[in-house]
Structure 1
Amino acid sequence: MPLILRPPRHDDEAALRRMHEQLLPDGFEILLVEGTWEEVLETLRKEAAGEDLRPGWVRSDFLVAEVDGALVGRVSIRHELNEQLLEINGHVGYAVAPEHRRRGHATEILRQSVQRLAGLGVERVLVTCDEDNAGSAAVIETNGGVLEDIRTVGDRRIRRYWIDSGSPVPG
């Protein structure tokens, strides 16, 4: 069965919270929202609609990646870039649970994310990763990422890639 990206549902709570705990030691946060599950889902719905955004946040879609009924990862697709996103985080932030890695899921998550951004009219998609994250760099390059530069941000070295989404320039 193919990988599908979809909004989280009520029955995803346990799997997403487990994935969140698994990835925290690697410095990845799966859930960027705190509160009850109902509050989390409502915040994610508002972010997708661009309503009541927290300071410094842009409209974004938080989607889970599902394969054969199992959640294998998640992605945040940001509809536009602000200063921080341009410097560090980019349009797309994805993560795959450790037990589901090395199966092509990250490559497919990013491919579908770029397609979604193309549908929103984003012509060039910025995707970043830590300089020492060879796996993520390979995923980005497989999806057509062209390295623009490597920047030092605090104590991190960030690789910044641009992917042509194939979207025509509006206007």
Structure 2
Amino acid sequence: MEKEKSCGAVIYKYMGDRLVFLLAEMNRGHTSLVKGHVEDGESEIMTAYREIKEETNLEVVIDNDFRQIISYPPYKSNTDIIKDVIFFAATPVKGRMKKQKEEVDALIWCSYKKAQKMLTHEGDRGVLNKARNYLINKPRLKYSEEDLMRLVIPSKIYLKSYLETRVHEEKTSDDFVNAFVPDVLKKIEDARHGKNLPYGWVSCTYLWLVKGEEFIGETSIRHDLTDGLLRFGGHIGYRIRHEKRRRGYGTKMLRLTLDYIREIFGFKQVLIT
């Protein structure tokens, strides 16, 4: 049986004391919660963040203590393919809502009762019901832009901010991982897939810590350990851009990196030297 996977979120906010939810009326004629396919190298939460940003333009905080999964055959012509869809809870902190015209006809904030009537699929309605019960029974938290920091797969969206680190590093000779490498995104992708590596190097996944489109730091996850890495280096290397140091960002990035490793690599032990 072949598997597909998508991730998204029940997006909510409070209007006074009233809890409302964001639905997407899609170009293909159905109304759904925001979700999309997992891309190469992404964790579940990475996919959810990316899809929410692409479809709504909102910067959200995701609550992964709420995690629901629905499974179904997405293609009537081939029931051997099963899609798993993972939903978190998410609330916007920043950004002006703007639909992704290529896929979305309209974005609508609505009450729970209206959302239950509008959602096309029973699975989405069940997830919404569980999310509502979860949210009304948890303390209402206030979030700031500092809570928007997250790990991403390196991409052109963040490249300009990433390359700005070179200005400082050139002056201080405090080399940033890959900062001076031509075609840095291609090099990063090759490293993840074990291609065109320098002699003695191992496959390595690079992730960037970002806030909005601002590059904060970089972490590297080595897929295997040589004798040298067992003595010095371990599985994880990381740097925070110079002007962002001593703010606790390194600790946050390390915690997020360990979460990623557990999900993607399944390592039972992680060596940090």
Report what 2:200 is aligned to: 56
Report what 2:177 is aligned to: 30
- The question of 1:92 aligning with 2:236 is answered yes
Structure with greater helix share of residues: 1
Amino acid aligned to 2:272: V
Amino acid aligned to 2:270: V
Q: Render the CA deviation track for 1:70-108: whole Å, top value 9, x for unaligned.
A: 211111111121122222211111111232223321111
Change (3 A) 1:50 1:106: same
Farther-moved stretch of structure 1 (20-29 vs 98-107): 20-29
Q: Render the CA deviation track for 1:100-124: whole Å, top value 9, x for unaligned.
A: 2233211111111112222312222
Change (3 A) 1:70 1:8: same
Q: Give 2:268's match in structure 1, choosing from 106, 123, 135.
A: 123
Q: Render the CA deviation track for 1:29-85: whole Å, top value 9, x for unaligned.
A: 2316622xxx22112111112233321111111111102332111111111211222
Whether the 8 Å CA contact 1:17–1:31 is kept in 2: the answer is: no
Change (3 A) 1:28 1:71: same
Amino acid aligned to 1:125: V
Amino acid aligned to 1:122: F
Q: Write the distance in 1 (CA, Å) between the matches of 2:235 and 2:148.
A: 23
Whether the 8 Å CA contact 2:261–2:267 is kept in 1: the answer is: yes
1:4, distance to aligned residue in structure 2 (A): 1.1
Report what 2:154 is aligned to: 8
Structure 2: state its 5+ residue gaps. Answer: 1-146
Where has structure 1 moved over 4 Å in runs of 4 or more?
Answer: none
Bigger Rg over Cα? 2
1:16, distance to aligned residue in structure 2 (A): 1.9
Q: State the TM-score, normalized to the length of structure 1.
A: 0.63
Q: Write the distance in 1 (CA, Å) between the matches of 2:174 and 2:227.
A: 22
Whether the 8 Å CA contact 2:165–2:179 is kept in 1: the answer is: no
Report what 2:251 is aligned to: 107
Change (3 A) 1:28 1:83: farther
Amino acid aligned to 2:151: L
Q: Percent identity?
A: 27
Farther-moved stretch of structure 1 (95-104 vs 24-33): 24-33
Q: State the TM-score, normalized to the length of structure 2.
A: 0.41
Change (3 A) 1:22 1:68: same
CA RMSD, 1 decimal? 2.2
Report what 2:74 is aligned to: none
Whether the 8 Å CA contact 2:219–2:236 is kept in 1: the answer is: yes
